[in-house]
Structure 1
Amino acid sequence: MDFSTLISKSIDLLNQHAPQAVQLYNRATPTDLIVVGAATLLTLYNITSMINKSKYSHLNMPRKVAYSLPLVGHTLYMTFNANRFLDWCVANYGDTFDLDILGKTITVAGGKIAEQVMKEDGHVLSLEHGVLTETLHVNYVFNKDTFFLGFTANPAIIKLLLAPSKMPNFTSRIVESVNYGLSQIASDLPLNVENTPVFLQELVAFISVRILIGEEVAKNREVIDTFAQFTNDITRNVPLWQVLPEFLHKPMLPYLQSLNRHKVCMDTHVDPVVEKRRKMLRDGELERGSKCDYLQELIEYQYPDGKTFTNKEITDGVLLIAFASVHTTSQNLSFGLFWLLCRPDVCDQLRQEIDQVLARHNDKINDESLKEMVFLDRFLRQVLRLGVDKLATGKMAMEDYTFMNGYQIPKGRLVQSLSRRIMFDSYTVDSTLDEMDPFTETKREATQTGRDNIAFGLGKHMCPGRFFAIHEIKIVLITLLKHYNVELRDKSKPVDPVVYALGMFATPNENPIVITARK
């Protein structure tokens, strides 16, 4: 029987039984309709699962974890008890298995397989497609040219500009930016901060604008606000993209005006700076390499064929780096601040170190005083380890891919790594405040990556901006602890330093705090 004959017979069958179906519907009670609807959904779910299974029958796929619920899959298990559920999965399925999360099948990798995933080349397992386009949909804001800039020029520029040897070039400017930012947003004390992560994002934005763009816009509040708010405006739309079918995404874009205003801000305030600097280079008023900021590096960047970036590519590139820099830094800064609020013993020890070291340096935060703060470095290493996602990395297979254990996944599959489990081997027991242990002697710096600290990645994919991010966080924490008292507004309720969205993704605590002057 050919396809057209099958369709014809199906239509005849529907026409024949349609009157009986209408009669059954009219006589059915609401309970009957709910039962039939649920049965229909379950049937469709099972049919879809069978189709997908047969579609990839040529691959040695990882086993799917049992007890996947219709529509929600394993999402509820992750949301309510991710630690125990993932431990159970590893015990029963090993280092590689499939889960159904938020309506999609993902592959989860642990142990050596996760390390393979994190170190794999981007054209094979792509972070760009896995996180930026398929999850956050940053591609709705930036075009392919900006992505190309972000994944080709940016790593080379940041690696040179923000190398560990270059940190002394930024110390005084970071200190000035922090002090100026606090004078603007914490001038009236006591200060009641309703949303702590938002407060810290704004403070980090003061630093990022000065260092990345330059003095010309260092005090421009519109540019600073864009740096502070852009990431939130991106992530705020993620639930919308998860719920809406993809064909409805583009029609919704004109209604998301917040994203457009950030691009307008860059075009309005940063483009004139780019044009002015280009003219100064042409006229000999500015020497190449004389300005130590990201914007200048973009202006002077040349491809092997001599091609340079256009003004528009540069302003979009600056906005893209704002997305990456402010979010990561402020999030880890928030984790650190709440750990200090939850662990008074750690806070007291850190404050004692800060007071003692700065007393030897005329209360100046400089490169020498920063090197002497060993406990601060140990503390931040713990903050990074305790602040990773339970499922992280989010790389998409750009082709059928084979893991070292022989399992295979199809093109388009998202791979998540058991990041927190890798660093702590296991976490069957729920997280406790006692996990924070910066008192243990270690010579490993916060920026030093390894199997016990994959917060900045592994191998050649390690974040090149990690040295600058830690430098920022140190100076902000030192400034806050030296000059202010920071407390929870409501001390009667216990808080978690790290909050997990859907039980998986580490997010900052939003509890209100109160900032007063330190006597």
Structure 2
Amino acid sequence: MNFPLETIPVFVGAFVTTYVIYWIKNLKTNKNEPPMVPYKFPIIGHTLDYLFNAENFLAECRQKYGDPFNIYVFGQVNTIAGNEIIHEVFRNDVFNRASATRDAFPLHQVIKSHNPETTVQIIKTVREGISAKLPLYTGRMQKQLVISINKEIGDCSNPKLIANSIFKVMIARPVADILVGQEISKNEDVIKAFADFTEDFGSIVGLPPILSFIHPKLHSEFITLPLRFGWNPIRKHMVTLKKNLKPVLEKRLKDKEILGDKYEPPLDIIEYILNNPKYETKSYYLCSLW
């Protein structure tokens, strides 16, 4: 019995497809790993439930299997830890937040100075410079929120339709106050840069990771492709911050040099960076971080 050569690719393709479906359908976890929630559709897994009915789907999984458990979404096994044990995950040295978010949020493609080392330092900066000093920031944050409410919403003596875009500006004011200081957090261009940054960066990472069904890296390569050809939606915001930050940094460095021990450091992340030996203290370098 003779088979035409043209049929060979068909048989090979059918074999590979069957094997892949069988492998995905029978994903196994080790004995010491959380249980894998069964799913109906090979390759797709729990993706549809997660996209369109996440709250009920996760609640049902938690009720049946407890925390933690595994689900198969967009071609990857994802572990849902749950509220009670998530703090243990973050404290564990095995968990690397930088590598976990690198593909989903490719900041290294948008900000050239961003790398795994700076990610670790940023996490430490947030922990020591913001979280540890949050009570000291509370009053300033409340003040900035009141300013935003009065400016963006007003007294509402007459009925007024409030656009969703207002809220990003309201949040941007206290964020700018904490990060870049009170000197320039009143600058409306700076506020706009902070307000628009997340939305513009979201235009890069907002696409559903459909290509992750083939391979997780493929989606990351696809969404960052325009960046490699020079398109960077947040460049204008970085330029705004550089322009406004540089004179402030230069003045602080000069005051610190002149006043010495009498220098009273402002409370913000920029000052934290200036006083941290792990960061350079040259103003041009600090500006280049953006």
* TM-score normalised by L of structure 1: 0.45
Q: Give the Å deviation of 1:111.
A: 7.1
Counterpart of 1:138?
107
* CA–CA distance in structure 2, aligned partners of residues 112 and 159 of structure 1: 21
1:107 aligns with 2:76: no
2:201–2:233 contact (8 Å) kept in structure 1: no
Counterpart of 2:240?
265
* CA–CA distance in structure 1, aligned partners of residues 254 and 168 of structure 2: 33
Counterpart of 1:69?
41
* CA–CA distance in structure 2, aligned partners of residues 216 and 135 of structure 1: 34
Counterpart of 2:275?
300
* CA–CA distance in structure 2, aligned partners of residues 149 and 136 of structure 1: 17
Q: Percent identity?
A: 23
Counterpart of 1:328?
none
Q: Secondary structure at the match of 1:257?
A: coil
- Alignment deviations for residues 59-83 of structure 1 (CA, whole Å, 9 cap, x no partner): 7444322124233211222344444
Q: 1:313 to 1:104 in 2, by over 3 A?
A: farther
Q: Secondary structure at the match of 1:264?
A: helix
* CA–CA distance in structure 2, aligned partners of residues 51 and 313 of structure 1: 52
Counterpart of 1:17?
5
Unaligned runs of 5+ in 2: 212-217
Q: Secondary structure at the match of 1:283?
A: helix
The count of aligned residue pairs is 274
Q: 1:113 to 1:100 in 2, by over 3 A?
A: same
What one-letter code is carried by the residue in structure 2 that aligns with 1:17?
L
197, 205, 222: which one aligns with 1:248: 222
Q: Secondary structure at the match of 1:135?
A: coil
Higher relative contact order (CA 8 A, sep 6+): 1
RMSD: 3.8
Q: Secondary structure at the match of 2:190?
A: helix
1:150 aligns with 2:122: yes
Q: Give the Å deviation of 1:281.
A: 1.6
Say which structure is richer in strand: 1
Mark the structure with the bigger radius of gyration. 1
Q: Give the Å deviation of 1:267.
A: 1.6
Unaligned runs of 5+ in 1: 1-12, 25-36, 320-519
What one-letter code is carried by the residue in structure 2 that aligns with 1:279?
K
- Alignment deviations for residues 80-128 of structure 1 (CA, whole Å, 9 cap, x no partner): 444443344344434333211122111223476545324x33x311233
Q: Give the Å deviation of 1:225.
A: 0.8
1:68–1:100 contact (8 Å) kept in structure 2: no
Q: Secondary structure at the match of 1:236?
A: helix
What one-letter code is carried by the residue in structure 1 that aligns with 2:241?
M
200, 208, 216: which one aligns with 2:183: 216
Q: 1:65 to 1:150 in 2, by over 3 A?
A: same
197, 200, 205: which one aligns with 2:172: 205
* TM-score normalised by L of structure 2: 0.74
Counterpart of 1:227?
194
Q: Secondary structure at the match of 2:72?
A: strand
- Alignment deviations for residues 378-409 of structure 1 (CA, whole Å, 9 cap, x no partner): xxxxxxxxxxxxxxxxxxxxxxxxxxxxxxxx
What one-letter code is carried by the residue in structure 1 that aligns with 2:94?
V
* CA–CA distance in structure 1, aligned partners of residues 281 and 27 of structure 2: 44
What one-letter code is carried by the residue in structure 1 that aligns with 2:123?
F
* CA–CA distance in structure 2, aligned partners of residues 211 and 283 of structure 1: 25
* CA–CA distance in structure 2, aligned partners of residues 157 and 230 of structure 1: 21
1:280–1:286 contact (8 Å) kept in structure 2: no
